[in-house]
Structures are given as structure tokens and as C-alpha cells.
Amino acid sequence: MWLIASHDRRVSLWKSNQQFDVCSLIDWLTFSAPDTTNNWQSFPPSLARFIDTNLVLYTGYGSDKRMQIYDIDTKQIIRTMSLNQWCWCFDLSNITTNNRLIAIGTKERLIQLKDYTQETFQDFIGNSDVISNIKFNKSNDLLITTSSNEIFVWRIVLN
């Protein structure tokens, strides 16, 4: 299964075979937000990612700065996490223990590491422009961030 997120806060859920020659639309997920018909380009993007086979982590422009976890099986939002900045990109560590992290990049150059379980966070600033991409490496000990003309590599140390 895979996801496509659009700027109008809709996420389409698709299923396909390995060759992608047969694709089926499974569901449309729509997340509420104020009317964005005027100047929608200035709003943060809609972003979605699988947490596991039946949970989707979503963030986008809404009435509040937040991330939402949507359960595909029950077709409802099961958890909401508050954010203090709008999210412009994010990544989820592949650690499945109590130390799972969400890395969030913002328009204000802020990088936030958020604990998935406890929702505690720590902020970092290094890039000199909007964080355009953020990614954990496979071993989750490094975080790579990019902005307009910079690449930063951050070492992750968990206590």
C-alpha cells in the first residue's frame, strides 16, 4: 500500500502489485482545516507517512498546529500531537522500542526531535533557510537536514 498527499488536505490510499501495473484506490482520507482557497501556496504542505501497516501519520495546514495518527482499520483519528511550529517536512525513525522519534523541519529553520510516545521534544537550529528535507539514516544515529544550499548531518544521542 502507498499514499499520495495533496495540498487540499486529502490523502489517497492505494494498493498495487509489485509491478505497479494494477493499482486500486482503497480510500480517501480528508483532514479538516479552515478554507484555504486564497493564497494556498503560503500554507504548509500536507504530509503523510505509514507508521505501520494500518496507521498513518498526517500533518498539514489546519486550525491547529498538530500531527494526527489515523487508523485505517477503524477509519478514525486515534491520536493528536500538538506542534509549536508548522511542519514543512518530517521523518519517523524506524526504532520500534520506546525511543521512536519524529524529526520535524519548519519554515523558521527549526529542527524538532519529538518523542513518539511521550511527545516530549527538543529544538535545534543550524540551517539558514527553510528546512526542505529531513531524514534519519538506517541506523537512526544520524539525522540529515537540507535547506536551499546546505546539508547538515546531526548525530543522534539518546540518553
Same domain, 31 and 99: no
Question: Looking at the structure, do residues 31 and 66 belong to the same domain, yes or no?
Answer: yes
Q: In this structure, are 5 and 77 located in the same domain?
A: yes
Sheet holding 76-82, edge to edge: 47-50, 55-59, 66-71, 76-82
> Phi-psi category of 42—alpha, beta or left, where left has phi over 0 and alpha has psi -120 to 50?
alpha
Rounded Cα gap, residues 8 and 127, in angstroms? 28
Nearest to 76 by CA among 61, 54, 93: 54
Average pLDDT, the chain: 86
The end-to-end CA distance of the chain, in Å, is: 35
- Structure confidence at residue 131 (pLDDT): 93
Residues 7 and 78 reside in one and the same domain? yes
Residues 4 and 76 both lie in one domain: yes
pLDDT tens figures, 64-74? 889 999 999 99
Tell me the pLDDT band of 145, cut-offs 50, 70 and 90: very high
- What pLDDT does 68 receive? 92
Are residues 74 and 102 both part of a single domain? no
Q: Is the pLDDT of residue 137 over 80?
A: yes
1 and 69 share one domain: yes
Residue 136: inside a domain: yes
SS3 70: strand
**Domain match, 124 and 75 both:** no
Using DSSP, state whether 152 is helix, strand or coil.
strand
Q: Is the pLDDT of residue 155 over 80?
A: yes
Mean pLDDT of 129-141: 92
**88 within a domain of the structure (yes/no):** no
pLDDT tens-digit series, residues 23-56: 898 888 877 766 656 665 667 888 999 988 889 9
What residue numbers bound the domain in which 28 lies?
1-35+43-82
Do residues 99 and 78 both lie within one domain? no
Confidence at 154, pLDDT banded by 50, 70, 90: very high
- Whether 99 contacts 158, CB under 8 Å: yes
Query: How many domains are contained in the chain?
Result: 2
Q: Give the model's pLDDT for residue 122.
A: 87
| Residue 87 domain-assigned (yes or no) | no
**Is 89 domain-assigned?**
no
- Do 61 and 124 belong to one domain? no
| pLDDT for residue 98 | 67
| C-alpha pair distances (Å), 36 with each of 7, 8, 29, 97, 100 | 10, 8, 17, 38, 33
> pTM value?
0.84
* Domain contains 107: yes
* Mean pLDDT calculated for residue range 98-104: 86
